Amino acid sequence: DTAVSQTPKYLVTQMGNDKSIKCEQNLGHDTMYWYKQDSKKFLKIMFSYNNKELIINETVPNRFSPKSPDKAHLNLHINSLELGDSAVYFCASSLGGLRAGELFFGEGSRLTVL
C-alpha cells in the first residue's frame, strides 16, 4: 500500500483552465503539506494543514486553494492556470508536525501548462 498517494501523476493542460491534484495518506499522520518543485529542482512549501486546519500559507497566488476534507486528505485546486505554474507538486505528511516526525512524500504530480 502506498503511504502517500497523489493523483494525477501527470497533468497537461491549457492556460486559463482549472485543475485539481488530490493527495491521500494512510499513515495516520496529522499534518500534511503541499510543496512546489521548480525547474531548478528547488523545493518550496506552499501550504500545510494540521488536523484539517491551515497552519502554513506561503506567499502563493489566490488561484491556489488547498482543501482538507479530513486529516487523511489534502487536495490542491488551481484556478486560471498560468505558464509559470508548470512544476512538480509534491504532497507530504508527517506525524506531529515538522518538529516531531520525518516527512513522507508522494510521488509528485508533474503539471505542464501550455
Partner 1 sequence: KNEVEQSPQNLTAQEGEFITINCSYSVGISALHWLQQHPGGGIVSLFMLSSGKKKHGRLIATINIQEKHSSLHITASHPRDSAVYICAVGKTSGSRLTFGEGTQLTVNP
Would you tell me which residues interact with partner 1 (CB under 8 A)?
Answer: 40-45, 48, 55-56, 58, 88, 90, 92, 97-99, 101-105, 107-108, 110
Residue 2 DSSP SS3: coil
Cell of 83: 505558464
| Complex with partner 1: residue 18 or 58, whichever CB lies closer | 58
Least distance from C-beta 19 to partner 1, angstroms?
A: 19
| Complex with partner 1: residue 81 or 106, whichever CB lies closer | 106
| Complex with partner 1: residue 44 or 63, whichever CB lies closer | 44
Torsion angle, CA of 65/32/71/4, rounded to 10 degrees?
Answer: 110
How many residues comprise the chain? 114
